[in-house]
Amino acid sequence: MKLILGSASPRRRELISQLGLTPEAVRVPDINEDPKKGEAPRDYVMRIAREKSAAIASGEDEVVLCADTTVTCGRRILGKPEDEKEAAEFLWLLSGRRHHVLTAVVVRQGETVRSRLVDTIVKFRPLSNADVNGYLASREWEGKAGGYAIQGLGGAFASWIQGSFTGVVGLPLAETSTLLGSFGIHPSFEGH
């Protein structure tokens, strides 16, 4: 079986390599990722991951891996900030609070689709003006759900985490490994 990664995310490519796997190809799905009016965050993230998977053409000997990650605070979906102002709004909203990072993983071969939703709780310490302004200046928030990267400078804001660290980064490795294994693709720990 050939692994096809359905994502342009360099973080997901790095995480897959931690399993000792290299995708045969990377195919980027082109879908509308806007939430539907009133859509619950859990439903939203799973729908997007499934739509990504369905949008990727694949052969019989190919297994497609797609994922989607979103940050939620209450019922509010915090996607990728459109600009610095929205990134600041997200950071202040998360300051001193718990929030959920939801990552849906979908693995498909032909018509067979298997999926998992991983919910990780992250608590931010209270942020100062210097924290927020410094982080905004770093530009690390660009293209990141919730406006931060826990594996980068944003990790200094997380006072604790309950769940999957790699899920917050963008691909929960334990669940992904299990899903891929069910299609005959297993981690390779040789050379590590």
Please tell me the pTM assigned to this model.
Answer: 0.94
From residue 17, how far is each of 26, 51, 72, 127 by CA, in Å?
13, 24, 28, 33
The stretches in the chain having pLDDT less than 70 are 190-192
Write the CATH number for 66.
Answer: 3.90.950.10
Please report whether residue 94 resides in a domain: yes
| Domain-located, residue 188 | no
Question: Is residue 71 within a helix (H) or strand (E), and if so which, with residue range?
Answer: strand 62-73
Task: Count Cβ atoms below 10 Å from residue 179 Cβ, excluding itself.
Answer: 20
With respect to residue 159, please indicate whether it lies within any of the assigned structural domains: yes
Question: Is residue 192 situated within a structural domain?
Answer: no
Q: Alpha-carbon distance 166 to 169, whole Å?
A: 5
Catalytic residue among 30, 43, 68, 119: 68
pLDDT tens for residues 121-137?
999 999 999 999 999 99
The verdict on whether 119 is a catalytic residue reads no
Can you give the residue range of the structural domain that contains 103? 2-181
Q: Give the number of domains in the chain.
A: 1
For 143-157, what is each residue's pLDDT tens digit?
A: 999 999 999 999 999
Within a domain: residue 191? no
- Amino acid 84 reads E
Name, in order, each residue with C-beta under 8 angstroms of 65's C-beta and a sequence gap of 6 or more: 3, 4, 5, 6, 7, 16, 23, 105, 106, 107, 176, 179, 180
pLDDT computed for residue 75 by the predictor: 86
SS3 28: coil
Distance (Å, rounded) from C-alpha 147 to C-alpha 86?
8
